Structure 1
């Protein structure tokens, strides 16, 4: 495998991992924000701070819940890179 292909494969895997992390953390906050927006539209409450705190709490809960998995994924990627450095260079 050529060096360019190796770099692109590693970059693609890392990029996909980042997309999964962002989706896990931001996705629930997006859903809660949408539900609160629908509630605000139905009740005609135009308070900007009403949607901020629930989204923050949901984001923190998602991060706390998925944190161990995220750390394990990062460690697996690091271990893969560290163990395969000799194969990638030479």
Structure 2
């Protein structure tokens, strides 16, 4: 197992992690921004007003995206496991 293989596995892992986390983080960021804008415009300073919609949207995005996320993780895991013999025996 050489350093190039390790770097490629690390890069693939990081890219997959970012790809899977991006929809959830973007949804939370947009809802947080909109809730903050609403609070600033109406001068309502209630903490749950920003928190509850973010939790609901994150759960909704996770629920809708879970099949895609699981298939991406499964495919990456299959690629890594099937590549183990090539990594060990050059």
TM-score using structure 2 length:
0.94
Distance (Å, rounded) in 2 between the aligned partners of 1:36 and 1:50: 7
| Residue aligning to 1:78 | 77
Aligned ranges 1:50-61 → 2 under 5 Å: 50-61=49-60
Q: Secondary structure at the match of 1:13?
A: helix
Deviations 1:22-70 (A, max 9, x none): 1111210110110010010001000011111100000000001110111
Q: Count residues with an aligned counterpart.
A: 89
Bigger RCO (CA 8 Å, 6+ sep): 2
TM-score using structure 1 length:
0.94
Question: Structure 1 stretches (4+) deviating beyond 2 angstroms?
Answer: none
